[in-house]
Amino acid sequence: MLWGMSPPDPTMRRSAASYDAAVRAQPEARGDEFRLPLQRLGLVPGERLLDLPSGGGYLAPYLPPGVHYLPAETLVGFTRYGRPLVCDWLCLPLADGSIDAVLSLAALHHLLEGRERFYREMFRVLRPGGRLLVADVAADTAPARWLDDYVAHASPEGHRARFFRCAEELPLLVGEGFRVACCEQVSYPWRFADRERMVRFCRGLFRLHGVPDAEIAAALERHLGVREVDGEVHLAWSLLHLLAVRP
């Protein structure tokens, strides 16, 4: 359901169109990235999952049967894809204790300030025993260096971020009342049929408009690593999984 007008986005997220086109053209490229957090959450039929921010609702095909999916967005460009709840993610139009699980996937690094306010709001909407899983880019990892050292300079839209460190996030979560269940780096590949499709996907996802194919391919090799495995092209990727429970 679409609620009200789109609020200001407090993050440094960028435009939606090319990102959405890339994911929809190759929906299985990041399949492991979508499946693994959902497995860690251990969702069961009847539970209500808040996907924040939801982008184009890419998680929906990977949900276990019987889970109620609530996508929520702030970025205006994404609201044309599916029908997300349009909201300020620091002040959600949801009742206290109304959500069983929250997943924030690969977006919260754009929230440069006020992360404790995000955790406070997630604590409010989660029921006792509810889970918050943040799956995002960790500091001092290959994805962080790719984004900082290459994308930030090569993309016309730039890239600003505050990447995750367990030592910084755990005190914030505990301070808001959460019990931290894990803080673990998880590695997996993005999967492509060939290198041409890999470059096309990354051009759209990272808004590398106008950058030559050969330059993107070389940068991916240099910063992340590319392998050919069983007829697929695998681009190395990893995210930090930070799982917290409301007591």
Q: Which two tokens stand for residue 95?
A: 């009742």
pLDDT (0 to 100) of residue 12 = 44
Determine, yes or no, domain membership for 78: yes
The number of folded domains in the chain is: 1
CA distance 11 to 21: 21
Residue 208 located in a structural domain: no
Mean pLDDT of each 10-residue bin along the chain, 247 residues long = 36 69 95 98 98 91 97 73 73 96 96 93 98 99 98 94 97 98 98 98 96 98 98 99 99
Structural domain for 98, as ranges:
17-140+159-188+238-245
The confidence score (pLDDT) of residue 16 equals 79
Structural domain includes residue 9: no
127 in a domain, yes or no?
yes
- Residue 54 belongs to a domain: yes
pLDDT of residue 71: 93
Q: Return the pLDDT at 81.
A: 52
Q: What is the CATH number of the domain that holds 82?
A: 3.40.50.150
* pLDDT value, residue 73: 85
In a domain, residue 220? The reply is no
The answer to whether the pTM exceeds 0.85 is: yes
CA distance 36 to 238: 11
Find residue 68's DSSP bridge partners: 48
Alpha-carbon distance values, 146 to 135, 170, 212 (Å) = 17, 25, 17
Residue 11 pLDDT = 40
Q: Kindly state whether residue 213 falls inside one of the protein's structural domains.
A: no
